[in-house]
Chain A
Amino acid sequence: DTGVSQNPRHKITKRGQNVTFRCDPISEHNRLYWYRQTLGQGPEFLTYFQNEAQLEKSRLLSDRFSAERPKGSFSTLEIQRTEQGDSAMYLCASSLGVPGYNEQFFGPGTRLTVL
């Protein structure tokens, strides 16, 4: 499968625990995005990487959220001290870093449930 992959697909955790999700983009894509989607809503932008540089962060991304892309390939999203309001689908998308190329391809998502 050459598409965007995400692991784990599902995560159930207790409030206050830390969780980490992984995203593997399409291999030649150097742009990587994280979005969050709650039930009945469209995805909301969280953050964006160009290679290993994190170039944009949403105000939605509180201090408890951190994202990394250390080698410009896979990315991780960590949520510390999880809260019930963090329950959502976390989607990763990747895009080719060519001027004028805007298409973003999404992964299957990680569904987080905070009890």
Chain B
Amino acid sequence: GENVEQHPSTLSVQEGDSAVIKCTYSDSASNYFPWYKQELGKRPQLIIDIRSNVGEKKDQRIAVTLNKTAKHFSLHITETQPEDSAVYFCAASKELTGGGNKLTFGTGTQLKVEL
């Protein structure tokens, strides 16, 4: 089955700096790669996603890049703010019977943005 590795496990940056989180996946059939932000005690919230036919996607301060050949994808957060502090999870998925998709998550990155 799919295996997703995520690095680093913890990341501390100064406010205004950039943060980069990297993930690799194993199943070449995976075609959808979402990123979730989870604050303590809250539900995972989708912040950005990318499909395998696209190499890069940007939404304001957040961008995701995908290298299908190397099977890795990355999350980039620019101009970090204290409210960006949370655990970030990457996931990889492929289509299931009926059209749904099974998400396989990484182990998470605890991002801390310091003042």
Instruction: Write the residues of chain A forming the contact surface with B, with a CB cutoff of 8 angstroms.
Output: 4, 31, 33, 35, 40-45, 48, 50, 53, 55-56, 91, 95, 97, 99, 102-109
Contact = CB atoms under 8 A, between A and B. Distances in A.
Nearest to A48: B100
For B46, B51, B97, B98, which residue has the most chain A Cβ atoms within 10 angstroms? Answer: B98
B99 A50 contact: yes
For B42, B100, B102, B103, which residue has the most chain A Cβ atoms within 10 angstroms? Answer: B100
Overall SS of chain B's interface: strand
A27 to B, nearest CB: 18
A44 B102 CA distance: 9
Interface of B: 4, 6, 32, 34, 36, 42-46, 49, 51, 89, 91, 93, 96-108
A108 B43 contact: yes
Contacts of A97: 99-100
B106 A56 contact: no
Nearest to B104: A45
A45 B44 contact: no
Contacts of A53: 98
B51 to A, nearest CB: 8
A41 B103 contact: no
B98 A45 contact: no
Contacts of B34: 102-104
A99 B93 CA distance: 15
B106 to A, nearest CB: 6
Nearest to A92: B43
Contacts of A44: 105
Contacts of B46: 103-105
Contact of B43 (A41, A50, A103, A109): A109
A103 to B, nearest CB: 6
